[in-house]
Structure 1
């Protein structure tokens, strides 16, 4: 195993097949095959050329189909697009409509900008936190009581607002 070469020797240029039983092919066919100058390489080349020709014809056919579909789509789009005059009028109308909508939104926003004054209890708690932080600028953690009081006031204010909105 492995002691012999896997390639045929160069001295053998032709292959002769010798059957152990009689051949079921006529002598004429055998003679025509033996006398043929066609080799494996030439058969492979002719097969490759035939495949390439078929692929090229199929590609041409597909290109023709795709170009027809593209042309139809372009015509459909062209028919759907309005004329330039109509487009300019629509653009002018839409520009006016958009500016009216923007003005209406601005007016609504201006109405909503009404800030309510903060209740005095929240303002006092905030002032206490600021005062404590100013006094203990090196130790801000000493102001935890004031911060908790401020948080409680804010919670109370938020709860009142939520109750008002929900009911």
Structure 2
């Protein structure tokens, strides 16, 4: 009744082959060459290379995405820092309470440039004919005497005198 279960049988079973197995010399040589060779077969090497290329491509894509994220964070931080600096400068410099942005300041700068250009046009040499005539005389003399510019000393003196007279007149106009 329970005697069959209490007997211990070996857990390994060994089967003996009574038919001899033989391999051809080519098969044995091929297997021996493959086991002796450390290089993988060309097909295996191509598979390994393709796998490595795909991993490199994946990693490169991940690094590029990470670089874009870092650049975007840097741009946001710089923009915030610049805005904070502008607010601080505007708060310290502007007692009226109006904070101007960079675009508004650039507009003001352009407006001032146009006013300066208009002033220069108005105050050009047309109001000072002696200075214009002196400058034209010096230019003509230098063009006429390119190898001997020292011959133009009279024209240069006339020009200097006209400029100094124009300066005196200008400063007199500011005093009144």
TM-score, normalised on structure 1?
0.40
TM-score, normalised on structure 2?
0.38
